[in-house]
Amino acid sequence: EAKNRGRGRTVNYTSNLMAKTFSLKRLADELQEAVENGEIIAHYQPIFDVRTSAIIGVEALVRWQHPRRGVLEPKAFLDVAEQLGLLHAIDDTVFRKAVAVIDHAKAAGVPLPGISVNISSQRLRDPLLLDQLASFDLPPGTVHFELLESIPFDRPDTALIKTVNAIRKLGIGIDLDDFGSGYASLVGLNQVRPDRLKIAGQLIAPITGSEESLQIVETIVRIARTFNIGVICEGVTSKAHYKKLEALGCFLQQGYYFSRPMDEDQFIAFMRTRNGLD
Ligand code: C2E
Ligand code: MG
Ligand code: MG
Ligand code: MG
């Protein structure tokens, strides 16, 4: 009996694994097609200056408009995309959409002060990147790339740092994303000298409940000031967060408390309403 149960479990485990492998393979096939078929889109989440409530920028966040499953968030497909080597194509797609939104917003009477695009290390290492970026006629200072803090910048004069500096020469800002969630490398900060760092939502979430958490954020803010780097706080979900951060002098904030990510049409409509145009 025990033997049978044991065997049954083995069978179950194996079929689970097979089902998983099968659905992963299917996801991979579908994602490959999605990239080719234009199912990769972006949603847009504004970044506010809380002193004036002005929108100082907007972040483009990738979404997969899946033909049957609806709009999928990055956690459903970015890991697989990375393994398949599709991240650079996805990043390129989102970048092009973001650049188009600059024009669309202008045409709609709500010119954007800035737009932020996430960029993977896969895309940063793409040998075509710099030539492709140079072929766009970007208004200087408008586009920012968000690089994950976890991208290793540990050695001086690496190819990556050269690429980052070349990107900056094209008038694109460099922001470090999710700062404080990984190694928070000061060596990295010193090497890259980003324009801004985005304090990770994970660090923002607990500040209303713990004095220690608030002090960690305060310390990061002080480090940023030492390096003369701007600060954006992301994942601001409540009024209490917003007030505590404002008291620390963190005026650039982003999060559900202010606005959720929206599709392009919703975002343009949102901007027009705010500007009293509709
Ligand atoms: P991220 O760049 O740090 O983006 C912030 C994430 O937090 C977004 O999730 C956003 O929707 C979410 N968020 C915004 N406000 C709040 C809030 O108040 N509370 C909470 N809990 N979450 C909030 P999303 O869109 O699921 O993106 C997840 C991550 O996927 C991004 O984190 C970024 O690392 C990556 N990603 C997004 N778009 C792209 C892209 O085009 N290319 C690459 N390579 N990565 C991307
Ligand atoms: Mg998410
Ligand atoms: Mg980001
Ligand atoms: Mg982030």
pLDDT tens track, the chain, 278 positions: 444 454 555 667 677 887 788 788 899 999 999 999 999 999 999 999 999 999 999 999 999 999 999 999 999 999 999 999 999 999 999 999 999 999 999 999 999 999 999 999 899 989 999 999 999 989 999 999 999 877 776 565 688 889 999 999 999 999 999 998 876 677 778 888 899 999 999 999 999 999 999 999 999 999 999 999 999 999 999 999 999 999 999 999 999 999 999 999 999 999 999 999 99
User: In this prediction, does ipTM exceed 0.85?
Assistant: yes
Tell me how far the alpha carbon of residue 45 lies from the centroid of ligand 4, in angstroms.
12
Q: What is the pTM of this model?
A: 0.93
Pocket test for ligand 1, best of 150, 234, 252 (most atoms within 8 A of CB): 234
Pocket test for ligand 1, best of 43, 59, 61, 129 (most atoms within 8 A of CB): 61
Q: What is the pLDDT of residue 154?
A: 59
Which among 273, 239, 270, 271 has a CA at the least distance from the CA of 257? Answer: 239
The residue whose C-alpha atom lies closest to atom 13 belonging to ligand 1 is: 235
The residue whose C-alpha atom lies closest to atom 37 belonging to ligand 1 is: 61
Q: What is the pLDDT of residue 2?
A: 45
The residue whose C-alpha atom lies closest to atom 19 belonging to ligand 1 is: 235
Tell me how far the alpha carbon of residue 1 lies from the centroid of ligand 1, in angstroms.
50
**DSSP letters of the chain?**
-HHHHHHHHHHHHHHHHHHHHHHHHHHHHHHHHHHHHT-EEEEEEEEEETTTTEEEEEEEEEEEEETTTEEEPGGGTHHHHHHTT-HHHHHHHHHHHHHHHHHHHHHTT---S-EEEEE-HHHHT-TTHHHHHHTS-PPTTTEEEEEETTS---STT-HHHHHHHHHHHTT-EEEEEEETSS---HHHHHHH--SEEEEPHHHHGGGGT-HHHHHHHHHHHHHHHHTT-EEEE----SHHHHHHHHHTT--EE-STTT---B-HHHHHHHHHHHTT--
Residues with CB under 6 A from ligand 1: 45, 61-62, 73-75, 78, 87, 90-91, 94, 118, 120, 146, 177-178, 201, 234-237, 255-256, 261
Q: Which ligand 1 atom minimizes the distance to the CA of 177?
A: 3
Pocket test for ligand 1, best of 48, 83, 118 (most atoms within 8 A of CB): 118
Q: What is the pLDDT of residue 3?
A: 46
